[in-house]
Chain A
Amino acid sequence: MRLLAPALALTFLLPGALQAAEPPPDAQIAALAERIRALEANAQMLQSQAAEALAAAQAAQAELQRMKTAQPDPAVAEVSVTAKAGDVTAAANQFNPSIALILNGSYVNHSKDPLDYRRAGFPLVGEGGPSANGLRLGESELSFAANIDDKLYGQLTVAMESEDGETHVGIEEAYIETTALPGGFIARGGRFYSNIGYLNSHHPHTDYFSDRPLAYQAFLGNQYGDDGVQLRWIAPTDAYLEIGTEAFRGENAPAAGAAHGGVGAKTFFVHAGGDVGSNNSWLAGASILHADARDGEDGFSGRSNLFLFDFTWKWAPHGAFKDSGIVLRSEAFIDDRKGVVIDPQDPLALAQSWEGKRRGAYVEGLYRFSRSWDVGYRYDRLWAASSGPYASDHDPQRHSIAATWHNSEFSLLRLQLARDEPQAHFLDNVFTLQYQVSLGAHGAHKF
């Protein structure tokens, strides 16, 4: 490079110099000498220019290196404040709405045919039955969520499932929620899972087991959600206190038939929680679901009050649950009903009036011993009514253990063994191997 520039210059300049050398010898020589001096000067200048250019390039490179490695001048950082404002909006738009996809599948083996499965005292409602045998794609969940504007947030969760070769697409949740009401109030409208109990408002992909507790299956058809409105209030207290109420259309179990002009179910719930030291946190709640049913799936028509009590305790060293910790959780259900029952299998049968209570509960513990592994145990129990159309001497119960391996926070593989005794002399040993992954936006999970 350094030599090339003057060489090139000489090749271009020399022929011209020689052509011009016509006049008498002396003058010619003098002129030539003059020329050569000029050329030399020229060459020297080009050489120094090339050297300068090279030095400048090296300096620029060095400066670039410095800029890469050195801290920015505070002034530079300050300038970026204004520059960043635009960037932030751009980034927000890029991920608006945030899209999350949950995929899961499983292999399930029941020792008893799921078609023979009956739960003593608790007719199967909603999706509360056992899973099918064999390899199976679970519910795929696609959700879109974003702030709509400065006052509203919106979310849509669509569930896709194929059953007997048919693909069902259902709207699990589609709601809007306020983000800017004063005084700690939050209002929600659309279709959503009720905030009663603990697990009910959580999507199944955050569960510690591959299926819901028996009480959820028996009383809520796995999970209670419907079209409705919700208002909740967070108290400005040191401890967490949330009070709220909901009104639902009343189409899904335990409600049915959208009674009361399409406002067939109401709820009221209180949740409280806090920390004990830096290692422990707790959350407790009491809720009631008041539902009217007209020709429900289980043949029931009348009113029902379902009381739920939930309690969660989490222990983790320094509150860092990611690497290790213990979760203890329990929920208790009391189902108080008054109405009539007509056997749904036999519409001509006589209606039997029924007033009575049934109960259910579960206790579960999860031990996370590393970032990748956790093991859990759950005990389920239902207490059937002693009289009336659902009367049973047998109380269904189930033991489940699960071991889950998390490759990252976005993927898990779970092995679950369950010993389910839904009726007398019917013991179903269930082996489940499940995978579950989440793609797309980071889902921020509730406690």
Chain B
Amino acid sequence: MRKLLLWMIVLLGVLAAPVEAKLRVFACEPEWGSLLEELAADTIDVDVATNALQDVHVVEARPSLIAKMRKADLLVCSGAQLEIGWLPQLLRQAGNARVTSAAGNFMAANQVTTLDRPASVDRAAGDVHPDGNPHVQLDPYRVLAIARALSARLGELDAANAAIYQQRFDDFESRWQAAITRWEIKAAPLKGKAVVVHHSAWIYLLQWLGMREIGSLEPKPGVPPTSAHLSSLIDVTKAGGAVAIISAAYQDSKPDEWLAGRTGVPALVLPFTVGGDEQAKDLFGLYDSTIDRLLGALK
């Protein structure tokens, strides 16, 4: 009986031996899934682990994700400990040495400089990330630097298609640069404007657009808004001349609406990542939608 089972396992292993086809990529967040589409749509298969309506800080290490991780040749995630609550578990359970380190392990935040690096890591300050703020997808310059590194990584892993990756990156770069110019002109009226944020996830966007964050609904990063803290924000929001209270599509917007009702400052739900609203179908749409919505709050 035992022997039979052992042989069955061996047989299954042989039958299931991977047929080398396209490069399989496991993308932790939709923004990287979209970037991979831009850089390598036809030459890779992409599994996107999360969607825009999930909080990527606390995704569950679901069995389906283990199965996807098992088959991946490359892992593309934000990094900077954003996925620390589930990614290490997936990696340990998937038994896939290709993606645990080295070339098969690509962390976006490692390709750029991160902001908000805490001087000390103390949970009393909330859920702070020692490697800095990991939400780098909303600065187009950082996205470009990440795209360049990712394209090179794809070429390294799949040398046969390296020329395609290079060409696709060049194409993406020129379209992206043009889009940046367009966005910057369009977003000029936002410069200097103040906002109140739900979670401290917007620093890169606000910095790029020259906007200011004057308060956060979460008393500490990752700690749900409390009524006392929200009450204290009423004056801050009014006095600071905030133009909007912004939250991501995945967040519970009730506290935002509560504050909006008491201050007259509109609560604004931004897509935050690809798929966060109708318009944010890809990275370009994500920025279009974000800027349109912010401009809409000025009216």
Q: Which residues of A contact B86 (CB under 8 A)?
A: 444-445
Binds A, one of B28-36, B63-71, B261-269: B63-71
Q: Contact: A243 with B9, CB < 8 Å?
A: yes
Q: Contact: A273 with B64, CB < 8 Å?
A: yes
Q: In the complex, which residues 1-51 of chain B have their Cβ closer than 8 Å to any Cβ of chain A? A: 5, 9, 12-13, 16-18, 50-51
With a 10 A CB-CB cut-off, give which of B81, B123, B139 has the most chain A CB atoms: B123
Which of A150, A234, A241, A409 meets B93, CB within 8 Å? A234
Q: Which residues of B contact A132 (CB under 8 A)?
A: none
Cα A95 to Cα B88 with chains together (Å): 14
- The answer to whether the Cβ of B131 comes within 8 Å of any Cβ in the partner chain is yes
Q: Contact: A183 with B224, CB < 8 Å?
A: no
- Cβ proximity bits B64-88 to A, threshold 8 Å, 1 near / 0 not: 1011001100000000010011111
Cα A177 to Cα B88 with chains together (Å): 14
Q: Contact: B62 with A153, CB < 8 Å?
A: no
- Cβ proximity bits A227-245 to B, threshold 8 Å, 1 near / 0 not: 0000011111111111101
Q: Contact: B252 with A233, CB < 8 Å?
A: no
- Cβ proximity bits B129-148 to A, threshold 8 Å, 1 near / 0 not: 01100000001111011001
Cα A272 to Cα B63 with chains together (Å): 8
Q: Contact: B223 with A184, CB < 8 Å?
A: no
- The answer to whether the Cβ of B92 comes within 8 Å of any Cβ in the partner chain is yes
- The answer to whether the Cβ of B60 comes within 8 Å of any Cβ in the partner chain is yes
Q: Contact: B12 with A442, CB < 8 Å?
A: no
Q: Which residues of B contact A318 (CB under 8 A)?
A: 51, 53-54, 250
Binds B, one of A37-45, A74-82, A254-262, A424-432: A74-82
Q: Find the A residue at minimum CB distance from B148.
A: A78
Cα A240 to Cα B93 with chains together (Å): 11
Q: Find the B residue at minimum CB distance from A282.
A: B63
Q: Contact: B110 with A88, CB < 8 Å?
A: yes
Q: Find the B residue at minimum CB distance from A316.
A: B60
Q: Which residues of B contact A281 (CB under 8 A)?
A: 60, 62-64
Which of A85, A185, A237, A372 meets B95, CB within 8 Å? A185
Knowing A371-B224, A446-B89, the reply to whether A239 touches B64 (Cβ < 8 A) is: yes
Q: Contact: B66 with A77, CB < 8 Å?
A: no
Knowing A77-B113, A236-B18, the reply to whether A274 touches B141 (Cβ < 8 A) is: no
Q: Find the A residue at minimum CB distance from B207.
A: A69
Which of B9, B60, B101, B139 meets A233, CB within 8 Å? B9
Cα A35 to Cα B252 with chains together (Å): 78
Cα A282 to Cα B274 with chains together (Å): 26
Residues of B in contact, count (CB < 8 Å):
64
Cα A283 to Cα B50 with chains together (Å): 19
- Cβ proximity bits B238-274 to A, threshold 8 Å, 1 near / 0 not: 0000000000001010000000000000000000000
- The answer to whether the Cβ of A319 comes within 8 Å of any Cβ in the partner chain is yes
Q: Which residues of B contact A84 (CB under 8 A)?
A: 110-111, 113
- The answer to whether the Cβ of B100 comes within 8 Å of any Cβ in the partner chain is yes
- The answer to whether the Cβ of A408 comes within 8 Å of any Cβ in the partner chain is yes
Q: Find the A residue at minimum CB distance from B254.
A: A370
- A225 → B minimal CB distance (Å): 18
Which of A95, A243, A372, A409 meets B58, CB within 8 Å? A409
Q: In the complex, which residues 49-81 of chain A have their Cβ closer than 8 Å to any Cβ of chain B? A: 69-74, 76-78, 80-81
Q: Which residues of B contact A71 (CB under 8 A)?
A: 139-142, 204, 207-208
- The answer to whether the Cβ of B210 comes within 8 Å of any Cβ in the partner chain is yes
- The answer to whether the Cβ of A335 comes within 8 Å of any Cβ in the partner chain is no
- The answer to whether the Cβ of A314 comes within 8 Å of any Cβ in the partner chain is yes
Cα A368 to Cα B84 with chains together (Å): 22
Q: Contact: B62 with A447, CB < 8 Å?
A: yes
Which of A77, A236, A274 meets B145, CB within 8 Å? A77
- The answer to whether the Cβ of A348 comes within 8 Å of any Cβ in the partner chain is no
Q: Contact: B100 with A180, CB < 8 Å?
A: yes
- Cβ proximity bits B220-235 to A, threshold 8 Å, 1 near / 0 not: 0011100000000000
Knowing A71-B139, A234-B94, the reply to whether A80 touches B64 (Cβ < 8 A) is: no
- The answer to whether the Cβ of A2 comes within 8 Å of any Cβ in the partner chain is no
Cα A321 to Cα B87 with chains together (Å): 16
Cα A181 to Cα B70 with chains together (Å): 12
- The answer to whether the Cβ of B292 comes within 8 Å of any Cβ in the partner chain is no
- The answer to whether the Cβ of B170 comes within 8 Å of any Cβ in the partner chain is no
Q: Contact: A445 with B110, CB < 8 Å?
A: no
Cα A408 to Cα B54 with chains together (Å): 17
Q: In the complex, which residues 261-309 of chain A have their Cβ closer than 8 Å to any Cβ of chain B? A: 268, 271-275, 278, 281-283
Q: Which residues of A contact B279 (CB under 8 A)?
A: none
Q: List 22 A-B contacts (CB under 8 A).
A: A69-B207, A78-B145, A81-B149, A84-B110, A91-B130, A150-B101, A180-B100, A181-B97, A184-B70, A234-B96, A237-B16, A239-B63, A239-B64, A239-B67, A240-B63, A240-B66, A243-B12, A245-B5, A273-B62, A409-B85, A442-B85, A445-B85
Show the binding face of B for A, using Cβ within 8 Å. Answer: 5, 9, 12-13, 16-18, 50-51, 53-55, 58-64, 66-67, 70-71, 81, 84-89, 91-97, 100-101, 110-113, 123, 127, 130-131, 139-142, 144-145, 148-149, 204, 207-208, 210, 222-224, 250, 252
Nearest 3 interchain pairs by C-beta: A273-B63, A240-B63, A318-B53
